[in-house]
Amino acid sequence: VTGLPIRHVGERFQRSNDTISRYFCKMVTIFASEPFYSKHVSLPFASSTTTVHPKIMRSHRFWPYFKDAISAIDGSHIPASLPLHDHAAYHNRK
């Protein structure tokens, strides 16, 4: 949940990295399994109230990338990193 490395989680709960990794894999398997996933995860339908902002729909720059997007959970953050050779192109960007 916090995006901490296994090492930090292991220190917090006083367990080895191997134990933390093993239980993390078990939890991912449980969350992705059919009984849990089908009961607790629901994707928005096309008739949902979540629509793409008109500014994005009219933009030739953004629409090709967002036209097939379903939606995102509010407040979700996905850590991403660029290859080292691309760092200069994105320097000082948000």
Number of domain units in the chain: 1
Classify residue 94: in a domain, yes or no: no
**Long-range contacts of 39-48, Cβ-Cβ distance < 8 Å, separation of 24 or more:** 43/70, 44/70, 44/71
Amino acid at 32: A
What CA–CA distance (Å, rounded) separates 94 from 90?
9
What pLDDT does 37 receive?
A: 82
In a domain, 28, yes or no: yes
Give the pLDDT band of residue 1 (cuts 50, 70, 90).
low
Which DSSP symbol is given to 44? Answer: P
Instruction: Return the structure tokens found at 37.
Output: 């996933």
- Tell me the residue range of the domain where 40 lies: 6-89
Higher pLDDT, 9 or 43: 9
pLDDT in tens, 26-79: 988 888 888 888 887 766 555 544 566 778 788 888 888 877 776 655 545 556
Is position 46 within any domain?
yes
Confidence at residue 68, expressed as pLDDT on a 0 to 100 scale: 74
